[in-house]
């Protein structure tokens, strides 16, 4: 019984159509090379080196064995895709290079026709992945380089970043911690322009609870949303003054308590209502008791510290994983974690400290100066200003296009 393709070829031949000689039989395909005769009807199959052209225009130049490509060959599909490499049992198998019509290119290990094992994938826009592949997708550990020059070294799953990652952005900012679906989401630590954030991230921006240390020695412990202080928390100025209460869009908004420390000991709690960073003279009755506001803010601050502690653990984990990935050597990870994520100083010697030191030396035996020692800092000074807004490096571009952050 003839195959359907052979039957069609026979009918076309009888109709006078121009057919190629395929190892002794008329065919819509052609083979330029030697043939292995089967003894059945005098027909044979391609054998050895040659050039095969299929009915749809697909071409293969290489070696055949029992009618199937083997060894090294060049296969060009009708749609423009090409594979240059080794074949086994009729499929790409071994080291080779896939090139797609749009310019996308894979170089590396291929098993049964799909990328498997170590390889390198380059996109037309300049993005690049080097690492492990499973079933044709980035899976395992590797390095992704964005078109802007940012490095993402870590774990991948089925074509997306998932697990731990160490990131060096093109502007010098760094991040280490969790990521999911190629987005910086989870717990981690970021360092940018002298500022350090430890805590929870959502789509590459601080989101949840975390701690920020700024280059101006300001600290914030509490809730975050979309890269800005939102919710309840504690904001600490370099001289030790604090605001404990509600925030919105990065500034005081709602009920809060301002804590004004004494020169050496003691503190004064000033209850207030803030709107968009400005303290109000009316509407205080709508606020809860200062003690309750204080407790809520401190609870958020403690939760933020716990989140920050876990984030630092994820930082260490991501750094250690990155060091096991050969492709990430380009990121120069031989130094310590502290070199890549330096601590931010949170102490500044202020005028209050100078006064305290002088009083301590000159007033040890003087009861008259006791009032000066315990008196709180004036509430009309720098403590009335609103927290400074800090910007954070957020988003990442996602793997092949996935996003890159910014801001707090």
Would 97 be classed as within a structural domain?
no
CA distance 339 to 200: 22
Mean pLDDT of 27-51: 73
Identify whether the C-beta of residue 344 lies closer than 8 Å to the C-beta of residue 195: yes
| Cα–Cα–Cα angle for 210, 215, 220, rounded to 5 degrees | 30
Query: What's the total number of domains in the chain?
Result: 1
- Say whether pLDDT at 370 is over 80: no
pLDDT score recorded for residue 407 = 39
Structure tokens at 15: 């109709």
Are residues 38 and 44 in contact, defined by beta-carbon separation less than 8 angstroms? yes
Tens of pLDDT, residues 288-301: 565 677 788 999 99
Tell me whether residue 225 is in a domain. yes
Q: Which residue has the tokens 């940012």?
A: 150
pTM attached to this predicted model: 0.77
pLDDT number for residue 336: 66
Is 228 inside a domain boundary? yes
Q: Look at residue 131 and tell me if it is in a domain.
A: no
Residues 6 or more apart whose CB falls under 8 angstroms from that of 83 comprise 74, 75, 92, 96, 97, 98, 99, 110
Predicted pLDDT at 47: 79
CB of 69 within 8 A of CB of 76? no
Contact 288, 275 (CB under 8 A): no
* Contact by Cβ (8 Å): 210, 311: yes
Asked if the model's pLDDT at residue 408 lies above 50, the reply is no
Check if the beta carbon of residue 175 is closer than 8 Å to that of residue 198: no
Residue 242 is classified by DSSP as E
* Range scoring the smallest mean pLDDT among 122-136, 305-319, 386-400: 386-400
Tell me the CA distances in angstroms from 98 to 77, 215, 221, one per residue in order.
Answer: 11, 48, 51
| Contact by Cβ (8 Å): 110, 295 | no
Indicate if the pLDDT at residue 344 is higher than 70.
no
What's the pLDDT tens digit per position in 258-290?
A: 888 866 566 777 888 899 998 887 666 767 565
Both tokens assigned to 259? 């804590």
Residue 257 domain boundaries: 193-408
pLDDT in tens, 60-118: 888 888 778 888 989 998 888 999 999 888 889 999 999 999 999 999 999 999 999 99
User: Is 31 exposed, middle or buried (CB count within 10 Å of its CB: 0-12, 13-18, 19+)?
Assistant: buried
Cα–Cα distance, 135 to 140 (Å, whole number): 12
What SS3 class is residue 77? coil
Residue 355 located in a structural domain = yes
Q: In the 8-state DSSP scheme, what is residue 262?
A: B
**CA angle, 243 as apex, 237 and 246 as ends, to 5°?**
135
Position 183 in a domain: no
Residue 196 in tokens: 């350090």
d(CA 46, CA 38): 11
Q: Which residue pairs, CB below 8 angstroms and at least 24 apart, start in 136-145?
A: 138/399, 141/321, 141/324, 141/325, 142/325, 142/327, 143/325, 143/327, 143/328, 143/330, 143/331, 144/399
| Average pLDDT value over all residues in the chain | 80
Residue 231 phi/psi, 5° resolution?
115, -135
Whether 373 is covered by a domain: the verdict is yes
Within a domain: 248: yes
Has residue 242 got a pLDDT over 80? yes
Can you tell me the distance from the alpha carbon of 78 to that of 113, in angstroms, rounded to the nearest whole number?
17
Residues 348-352, mean pLDDT to the nearest whole number: 47
Nearest partner of 162 among 145, 144, 182, judged by Cα: 182
In this prediction, residue 381 carries a pLDDT of 37
Residue for token pair 């003894």 = 39
Tell me how far apart the alpha carbons of residues 47 and 31 are, in angstroms, rounded to a whole number.
10
Task: Supply the pLDDT for residue 349.
Answer: 44
User: Are 355 and 263 within 8 A, CB to CB?
Assistant: yes
Q: What is the pLDDT of residue 29?
A: 76
pLDDT in tens, 139-169: 999 999 999 999 999 999 999 999 999 999 9
Using DSSP's 3-state secondary structure scheme, residue 280 falls into strand
**What is the residue-wise DSSP string for 88-121?**
ETTEEEEEEEEE-TTS-EEEEEEETTEEEEEEEE
3-state secondary structure 288-320: CCHHHHHHHHHHHHHHHHHHHHHHHHHHHHHHH
């Amino acid at each position: 019984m003839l195959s359907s393709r052979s039957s069609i070829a026979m009918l076309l031949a009888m109709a006078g159509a121009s057919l190629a000689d395929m190892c002794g039989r008329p065919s819509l395909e052609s083979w330029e090379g030697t043939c292995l005769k089967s003894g059945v009807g005098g027909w044979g199959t391609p054998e050895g080196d040659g050039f095969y052209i299929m009915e749809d225009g697909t071409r293969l130049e290489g070696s055949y064995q029992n009618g199937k490509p083997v060894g090294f060959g060049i296969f060009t599909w009708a749609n423009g895709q090409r594979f240059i490499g080794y074949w086994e049992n009729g499929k790409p198998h071994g080291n080779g290079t896939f090139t797609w019509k749009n310019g996308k290119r894979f170089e590396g290990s291929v098993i049964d026709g799909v990328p498997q094992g170590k390889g390198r994938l380059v996109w037309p826009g300049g993005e690049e992945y080097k690492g492990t592949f499973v079933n044709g997708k980035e899976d395992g550990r590797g390095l992704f380089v964005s078109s802007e020059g940012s490095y993402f070294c870590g774990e991948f799953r089925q074509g997306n970043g998932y697990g731990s990652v160490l990131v060096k952005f093109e502007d010098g900012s760094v991040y280490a911690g969790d990521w999911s679906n190629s987005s910086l989401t989870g717990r981690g630590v970021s360092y940018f322009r002298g500022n350090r954030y430890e805590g929870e991230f959502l789509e590459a921006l601080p989101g949840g609870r975390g701690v920020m240390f700024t280059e101006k020695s300001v600290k914030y412990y509490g809730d975050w949303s979309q890269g800005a202080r939102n919710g309840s928390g504690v904001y600490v100025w370099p001289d030790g003054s604090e605001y404990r209460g509600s925030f919105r869009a990065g500034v005081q908004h709602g009920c809060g308590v301002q804590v004004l420390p004494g020169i050496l000991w003691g503190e004064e709690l000033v209850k207030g209502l803030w709107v968009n960073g400005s303290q109000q003279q009316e509407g205080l009755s709508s606020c809860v008791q200062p003690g309750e506001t204080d407790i809520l803010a401190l609870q958020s601050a403690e939760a933020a510290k716990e989140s920050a502690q876990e984030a630092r653990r994820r930082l260490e984990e991501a750094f250690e994983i990155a060091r096991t990935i050969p492709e990430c050597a380009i990121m120069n990870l031989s130094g310590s974690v502290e070199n890549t994520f330096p601590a931010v100083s949170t102490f500044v010697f202020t005028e209050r400290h100078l006064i305290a030191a002088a009083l301590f030396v000159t007033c040890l035996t003087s009861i008259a100066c006791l009032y000066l020692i315990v008196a709180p800092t004036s509430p009309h000074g720098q403590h009335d200003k609103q927290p400074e807004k800090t910007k954070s490096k957020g988003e990442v571009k996602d793997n092949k296009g996935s996003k890159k952050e910014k801001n707090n």
